Amino acid sequence: MTTTDRARAIGDAVERFVRDTVVPYEKDPRCAAHGPSDALVSELRVLAREAGVLTPHILEGGVHLTQRETAHVLIRSGLSPLGPVACNTMAPDEGNMYLLGHVGSLEQKARFLAPMIDGTARSAFFMTEPAEDNGAGSDPSMMRTTCKADGNHWVIEGRKAFITGAQGAKVGIIMAKSEEEGACLFVVDLPDPAIRIERILDTIDSSMPGGHAVVAIDRLRVPATQMLGEPGEGFRYAQIRLSPARLSHCMRWLGGCIRAHEIAADYACRRQAFGKALIDHEGVGFMLAENLIDLRQAELMIDWCAAVLDTGDLGTAESSMTKVAVSEALMRIADRCVQVMGGSGVSGDTIVEQIFREVRAFRIYDGPTEVHKWSLAKKIKREWTASRG
């Protein structure tokens, strides 16, 4: 995996900051079941700003690193679950910044994007809907949230679920469907009395500030100037965000699994059982060897997909393949780390237990493995049919 000198320099600075400054915060009581508190996020971002590693993937003037360069940086930010939070490379903000940077108007960028890049505003992406409403999940065409034009405003109504970071967010990007136009995206200020958090879900993961919320949207009036791009283009714009955001999840959690492997390998080399170090027992040593193989394969898949995106291609199929391969590989790695460490692996004494939980959730977030395989199978059939001509 090769990269540029600027990405290496940024990545090295991010890794030093995460290992030296962020890791000691992992035991902070402000890390709770629904993610780190906003007070902790603010404190960490002050430190990141002082270290010169806040929003490191977006350069002066709003220029983004390439996807291959971004991988080099985001993998290192992920060495701690708090690293992406501190460095402002965490979902959903990272994906929302990318989308606003590509689709937002100059006015929208100044009002909404600038404070996000500066790390002073968190954001949320309102797309997924409650299963009990038979709303949109992995199939966005099932969108039930509506938007209707009303003069120079749009009125939005509906319910959303698993909305990461809604609690405490200052910027929201909402997807809704117009009967006349189709899917639309809107960018809004938060909080808003018309957007009510019904509850914060108790989920297996706990790394993202604000947790994951079920939200009711009751006649939210949004100025037409706050529509992202053109009406009816919401699904197409979401595709611009989708592949890079999916890939950045792979980057961050690869960093987490690199750290988990380091901890498990250290444990196996120190811990004695049955007359020798654990790593000298073949069953343990082989698990750690398999980790090395999976780590390198995950890194190469990320680099391959990033190179495709850097050509300007949407990389829909490539990001699906990468998301499946990497999330499944990282699950194997995290599981082996827990197994190698035995009782210590399921306790909160190290970060390994949390990384295991986070990676398990990652196999579902940004599209479950089965949905990606189904999509790829459809692609195979389309290409086969076309070849029969």
What's the pTM?
A: 0.96
Q: For 292-344, how does the pLDDT look when each residue is reduced to its tens digit (9 = 90+)? A: 999 999 999 999 999 999 999 999 999 999 999 999 999 999 999 999 999 99
For residue 32, list its beta bridge partners.
35
Segment 134-141 shows an average pLDDT of 91
Could you give the domains of the chain? 5-90 (no CATH), 123-232 (2.40.110.10), 235-388 (1.20.140.10)
pLDDT at position 217: 98
d(CA 92, CA 165): 8
Which residues share a beta bridge with 147? 156
How confident is the model at residue 234, as a pLDDT? Answer: 95
Residue 25: per-residue pLDDT: 98
Only one residue has tokens 């076309």, namely 386
Question: Cβ atoms within 10 A of the Cβ of 30, count?
Answer: 14
Asked if 21 and 51 touch (Cβ cutoff 8 Å), the reply is yes
Average pLDDT (357-384) is 96
**Model pLDDT, residue 389:** 77
Q: Strand locations in 237-300, DSSP E?
A: 272-273, 276-277
Phi, psi (rounded to 5 degrees) for 125:
-115, 115
* pLDDT score of 2 more than 90: no
Give the pLDDT band (50/70/90) at residue 11. Answer: very high
